[in-house]
Every structure is written in C-alpha cells, then in structure tokens.
Amino acid sequence: MITIDHVVGLLSDIEDPGCREFSIGVGDWPFNGFVVRQGDDVYAYQNYCMHAGHPLNWQPNSFLTKEGDAIICASHGAMYEIASGECFAGPCRGGALRKVAVEIRAGVIYVGGPGTM
C-alpha cells in the first residue's frame, strides 16, 4: 500500500492553473517536488530537470508557461504536458517528469514521498 500523507496545502489556495512546491524529508537531501492545479485536477512531479538535473524553476512556485498551459524548465525552455509530464519541446523531447502520487481529500492536497511515483 502506498502512503500518501504529506500535506501540500488547500486546493483552494492554489490558482487555477497554478503550482506549489513541496519538500519531504530533512537534512542534506530532501525530496523536492511540485503540484500543478488545473481545474479540480492536481498533478504532482519531482522538481528535477530531465535534461540538466537541477530544479525546473528559478522563482518559487513558478513552473508554468505564461499561458499556464504547460510546465516549463526555466533554464532550457523544455516544455512538458501538465497531465502526463511528457516533454514535447526542448532538449529532453520524448522524456518525462517523474510522477508523484497525489490525492485530494476534503479539499486538502496530499502527496507521497519518494517511491510512490
């Protein structure tokens, strides 16, 4: 059974479309991820550029294109589909972001940690 118990926050606190970062763990190597809200749907991914191996964003909670219709890497401009995490433009075309298990319960967004993808 997968444990999905890390609270990210209230769905209503995230713009539509919008994102929120989260971190699980302490010390030198926490697991960093983000959720993307699109209507009543929420998707979660590891915050990791598939091309260069660093975080996708430069600004806090900033993962979407200006139009809000795709996830974008701030470094290289690689673009990923929100619902699937698949890269459709840029240097990692054909690759995909690492999914994280996510649930909404009573309006609260929960994610699982590493190993729940």
CATH number, residue 100: 2.102.10.10
Q: How many domains does the chain have?
A: 1
Residues 6+ apart with CB under 8 A from 39: 16
Model pTM score: 0.92
Beta carbons of 5 and 105 less than 8 angstroms apart: no
In this structure, is residue 60 part of a structural domain? yes
Q: What angle do CA 61, 42, 113 make, to 5 degrees?
A: 75
Domain range holding 43?
4-24+31-112
Per-residue pLDDT of the chain (117 residues; tens, 9 = 90+): 567 899 999 999 999 999 999 999 877 778 999 999 999 999 999 999 888 889 999 999 999 999 999 999 999 899 999 999 999 999 889 999 999 999 999 999 999 976 655
In a domain, 117, yes or no: no
Q: Is 106 among the domain residues?
A: yes
The answer to whether residue 85 is domain-embedded is: yes
| Structural domain includes residue 51 | yes
87/25 Cα distance (integer angstroms): 27
